[in-house]
Amino acid sequence: MNETAPDAKAITLRNYIGGEWLEFGGETLESRNPATGELLNLIPLSSADDIDAAVTAARAAFPSWSQTSPIIRARALFALREVLTSQREEIARLVTLDMGKTFDDAFGEVGRGIESVEAACAIPHTLKGQTLEGVARNVDVESFRQPLGVVAAITPFNFPAMIPLWFLPFALACGNTFILKPSEQDPLASRRIVELIDGIDEIPAGVVNLVHGAHDAVNALLDHPEIDAISFVGKASTARYVAQRGVEKGKRVQALGGAKNSLVVMPDADPELTAAGVTSSAFGAAGQRCLAGSVLLLVGTPEEQERSLGVVVDAAKQLRTGDGSDPETDVCPLVNPAARESAEAAVADALAGGAKLILDGRRDGGSGGAELGPTIVDDLDSDHPVTRDEIFGPVLGVVRAPDLDAALEWLNKSRYGNAAMIFTADGGHAREFRNRVQAGMVGVNIGVAAPIAWFPFSGWKDSIDGDLHANGDDAVTFYTRSKVVTSRWR
Ligand code: NAD
């Protein structure tokens, strides 16, 4: 279904509903290449009627798909894994074109998405129930997990291939039918993944549906009575809104929100691991990752703190900012010029309050107007928005603490709890940090503490609304409900 080649003239994308790619005649939104500003596509702003059509198709496909053997459903996912692996490079190129990140980063992202498919392939094992024999005379108890019905995923711009693949494989593996509403800012990777699914005979029409759109489409998904569960990833404010409205409408919701992650550097940290770990975390993907470290928490005496800061600043100065399709680029553009302006405004506000710029990444924005180089801000009020709020750009705020206790005290006041990283050569400090830090994903000498897909993506506090995370056993629990049968046979 090639209604457009990515480099062809911009045309309107289509929704994929019930196995058909449907022409769209309604209102659209422009989507541009962040590196060049080039117009790529027109994105349908789907209406409540479009969402209803997708739900009707998904509902019609549910009885048969939910009754399909988990072994056959797993085989369908093996087929998906094969096509994704064969098209990994092409999907990664679409991510770079549409979202801006470097090709290597995009290639890694698609690999992470494939990993979720692989984890979901274990469904005949992970879906197994439990039994307890003889709880009373001739009485046995057994529990099963059954699919929910029609489930929808609403995804953000920053991982346009991986995050749809956090949800789609597990939802299908558990026997649900699925509707994807990708970010309106960069839906090309989702579109390509669904094209590949369209070619897989083992996934019947209606099992996977793709609906483009923005806020109205999200509201229609949240309000539709025939949708049983919503998986969401995006800003904390949107996550809270989605969770509240979805739950009000009787749905099961997992809503993963924003983050503000600290990189704690102890005086004994290995300088090489620290330089590579901190800079890749803070400036990779231009800081547009929910696991990005955006606070550098320097621990030790003032001299030790200066030494650690020097290691990071020297490494950051080596990074090249530019078009993500250029293999020489380390720091890609932000997703659009407005995102760059917003990050720069936060820096300007800090400077107006007396902060000091240790590394100034501000530039003319590049040809797409969205570039900002690595920026490091010191001497901040330790509760300034640069240290407490999500900037989602390549901006690293410096905070100082005399010892690990003080560092943990400051860090644990964060409203977010997605990730926290420590760099140290001391196992005791690492253990203490791991135990006491209030974050669900912890890195020790690792800059981006992303769990593999067999574990849940475990944010805490305002980084999630809901109890069950994406991936791992949580995904199977989220996409099923348990049924407990008590039987007596004489
Ligand atoms: P966003 O909240 O703007 O958009 C996410 C989705 O919600 C999109 O599909 C969008 O169409 C929809 N949406 C946005 N505003 C809406 C509104 N007012 N009403 C209805 N729908 C709305 O997020 P984004 O900017 O695309 O993504 C970046 C954010 O995602 C960051 O905050 C990042 O930390 C977060 N994120 C979190 C995780 C995690 O695991 N916790 C992972 C990746 C990204």
196's tokens:
């590949």
pLDDT beyond 50 at 6: no
pLDDT band (50, 70, 90) for residue 5: very low
Predicted local distance difference test score (pLDDT) of residue 7 = 43
Predicted local distance difference test score (pLDDT) of residue 477 = 98
Going from the Cα of 320 to the center of ligand 1, the distance in angstroms, rounded, reads 28
**3-state DSSP of the chain:** CCCCCCCCCCEECCEEECCEEECCCCCEEEEECCCCCCEEEEEECCCHHHHHHHHHHHHHHHHHHHHCCHHHHHHHHHHHHHHHHHCHHHHHHHHHHHHCCCHHHHHHHHHHHHHHHHHHCCHHHHCCCEEEEEEECCEEEEEEEEECCEEEEECCCCCCCHHHHHHHHHHHHCCCEEEEECCCCCCHHHHHHHHHHHCCCCCCCCCEEECCCCHHHHHHHHHCCCCCEEEEECCHHHHHHHHHHHHHCCCEEEEECCCCEEEEECCCCCHHHHHHHHHHHHHHHHHCCCCCEEEEEEECCHHHHHHHHHHHHHHHHCCCECCCCCCCCCECCCCCHHHHHHHHHHHHHHHHCCCEEEECCCCCCCCCCCCCCCEEEECCCCCCHHHHCCCCCCEEEEEEECCHHHHHHHHCCCCEECEEEEECCCHHHHHHHHHHCCCCEEEECCCCCCCCCCCCECCEECCEECCCCECHHHHHHHCEEEEEEEEECC
Going from the Cα of 91 to the center of ligand 1, the distance in angstroms, rounded, reads 21
Nearest-CA residue for ligand 1 atom 11 is: 214
Going from the Cα of 483 to the center of ligand 1, the distance in angstroms, rounded, reads 33
Nearest-CA residue for ligand 1 atom 43 is: 290
pLDDT tens per residue, range 300-323 = 999 999 999 999 999 999 999 999
Nearest-CA residue for ligand 1 atom 19 is: 215
Predicted local distance difference test score (pLDDT) of residue 117 = 99
Q: One-letter amino acid identity for 44?
A: P
pLDDT band (50, 70, 90) for residue 115: very high
Going from the Cα of 234 to the center of ligand 1, the distance in angstroms, rounded, reads 2
Mean pLDDT of 68-95: 98
Beta-carbon contacts of 383 under 8 Å, excluding residues fewer than 6 positions away, are: none
Which of ligand 1's atoms lies nearest the C-alpha of 239?
2
pLDDT beyond 60 at 332: yes
Contact 90, 106 (CB under 8 A): no
pLDDT tens per residue, range 264-280 = 999 999 999 999 999 99
Predicted local distance difference test score (pLDDT) of residue 9 = 60
Which of ligand 1's atoms lies nearest the C-alpha of 185?
26
Which of ligand 1's atoms lies nearest the C-alpha of 256?
41
Predicted local distance difference test score (pLDDT) of residue 381 = 87
Compute the distance between CA of residue 150 and CA of residue 481 in angstroms, rounded to an integer: 13
Nearest-CA residue for ligand 1 atom 30 is: 234
Nearest-CA residue for ligand 1 atom 26 is: 156
Mean pLDDT of 149-164: 98
Nearest-CA residue for ligand 1 atom 9 is: 183
Predicted local distance difference test score (pLDDT) of residue 485 = 98
- What is the share, in percent, of the chain residues with pLDDT greater than 90? 96
Predicted local distance difference test score (pLDDT) of residue 256 = 98
pLDDT beyond 70 at 447: yes
pLDDT beyond 50 at 352: yes
Q: List, by residue range, all CATH 3.40.309.10 domains of the chain.
A: 261-444
Nearest-CA residue for ligand 1 atom 20 is: 215
Predicted local distance difference test score (pLDDT) of residue 2 = 41
Contact 98, 187 (CB under 8 A): yes
Nearest C-alpha neighbor of 347 from the set 310, 294, 307:
294
pLDDT tens per residue, range 363-382 = 988 889 999 999 999 999 88
7-257+463-488 topology per CATH? Aldehyde Dehydrogenase; Chain A, domain 1 (3.40.605)
Nearest-CA residue for ligand 1 atom 15 is: 238
Residue environment code for 115-127, b if the CB has 16+ CB neighbours within 10 A, otherwise e: bbbbbbbebeebb
Q: Which of 29, 254, 290, 464 to mutate to test the pocket of ligand 1 (most atoms within 8 A of CB)?
A: 290
Going from the Cα of 393 to the center of ligand 1, the distance in angstroms, rounded, reads 15
Q: Which of 46, 51, 158, 478 to mutate to test the pocket of ligand 1 (most atoms within 8 A of CB)?
A: 158
Going from the Cα of 224 to the center of ligand 1, the distance in angstroms, rounded, reads 20
Predicted local distance difference test score (pLDDT) of residue 4 = 44
Compute the distance between CA of residue 148 and CA of residue 451 in angstroms, rounded to an integer: 26
Q: Which of 180, 233, 289 to mutate to test the pocket of ligand 1 (most atoms within 8 A of CB)?
A: 233
**Which residues form ligand 1's pocket by a CB distance below 6 Å?**
154-159, 181, 183-184, 214-215, 218, 233-235, 238, 256-259, 290, 390, 392, 418, 457, 459, 463
Predicted local distance difference test score (pLDDT) of residue 366 = 87
Which of ligand 1's atoms lies nearest the C-alpha of 235?
32
pLDDT tens per residue, range 387-423 = 999 999 999 999 999 999 999 999 999 999 999 999 9
Mean pLDDT of 463-490: 98
pLDDT tens per residue, range 185-212 = 999 999 999 999 999 999 999 999 999 9
Predicted local distance difference test score (pLDDT) of residue 365 = 84
pLDDT band (50, 70, 90) for residue 221: very high
Going from the Cα of 27 to the center of ligand 1, the distance in angstroms, rounded, reads 21
Going from the Cα of 235 to the center of ligand 1, the distance in angstroms, rounded, reads 4
Which of ligand 1's atoms lies nearest the C-alpha of 156?
26
Which of ligand 1's atoms lies nearest the C-alpha of 159?
43
Predicted local distance difference test score (pLDDT) of residue 1 = 39
Q: How high is the mean pLDDT of the chain?
A: 97
Predicted local distance difference test score (pLDDT) of residue 479 = 99
Predicted local distance difference test score (pLDDT) of residue 382 = 84
Q: List, by residue range, all CATH 3.40.605.10 domains of the chain.
A: 7-257+463-488
Instruction: Specify whether 332 is catalytic.
Output: no
CATH code, 261-444: 3.40.309.10
